[in-house]
């Protein structure tokens, strides 16, 4: 019977990371050109485009859940500011 050594990461974790990072690696392989970022500049492609809403959401959830932080950072989009 095949046994995995203790230091070897589980296959599911490796597979999950590979799936997660595949588009990242693909993206880095060829930089996205400024001319290709038109749609990324749209407000609906921003993380947390509405700051007051994001702040109010964090306010509500931090008062009702034991977890806090890890809510991400605004911005993203075209990265062309």
Partner 1 sequence: MQLTRPRRRRATASRLATAVVALASFAAPGSPPAAGDDQVRAAVTYFAEPAPNTNLNVVHPQVSYSQDFGDHFGLAVGYDADVVSGATPQVFGVDAVTAATKFTDARHNGSLGLRFLSEYATLRLGGGFAGEHDYRSGTVNAGITTELFDRNTQLSVDYTHNFDRVCDANNAANQELLELRALDSSELCFRKDSDQVATRKLAIDTAQITWTQVTTPWLLLQFGATGQVLRGFQANPYRQVLLGERAVQEHLPGVRNRIAPWARAKFALKPIRGSIEADLRGYFDSWSVKALTAELAWDQYIARPIVLRARARWHMQDSALFYRDGNQYASSGPIGSYWTGDRELSALFNSVYGVKATYFIKSRGKQFLRFIDQFVISAKADMIFYRSRTANPQFSPNYDRTKGLLDAVVIQAQAGFDF
Binding mask 39-68 for partner 1 (x = CB under 8 A): xx-xxxxxxxxxxxxxxx-xxxxxxxxxxx
Helices (H), the chain: 11-29, 51-62
Shortest Å, Cβ 14 to partner 1? 16
Q: Residue 37: which residues within 8 A CB-CB, separation 6 or more?
A: 78, 79, 80
Measured from the CB atom, the residue of 1 and 51 that comes closer to partner 1 is 51
Measured from the CB atom, the residue of 5 and 70 that comes closer to partner 1 is 70
10 interacts with partner 1 by CB under 8 A = no
Helix, strand, or coil (residue 78): coil
28 interacts with partner 1 by CB under 8 A = yes
Which residues on adjacent β-strands are paired with residue 32? none
């Amino acid at each position: 019977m095949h046994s995995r050594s203790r230091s070897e990461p589980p296959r599911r974790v490796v597979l999950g990371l590979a799936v997660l990072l595949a588009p990242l690696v693909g993206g880095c392989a060829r930089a996205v050109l400024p001319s290709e970022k038109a749609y990324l500049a749209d407000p609906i492609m921003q993380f947390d485009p509405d700051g007051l809403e994001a702040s109010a959401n964090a306010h509500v959830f931090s008062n009702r859940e034991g977890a806090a932080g890890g809510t991400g950072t605004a911005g993203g989009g075209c990265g062309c500011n």
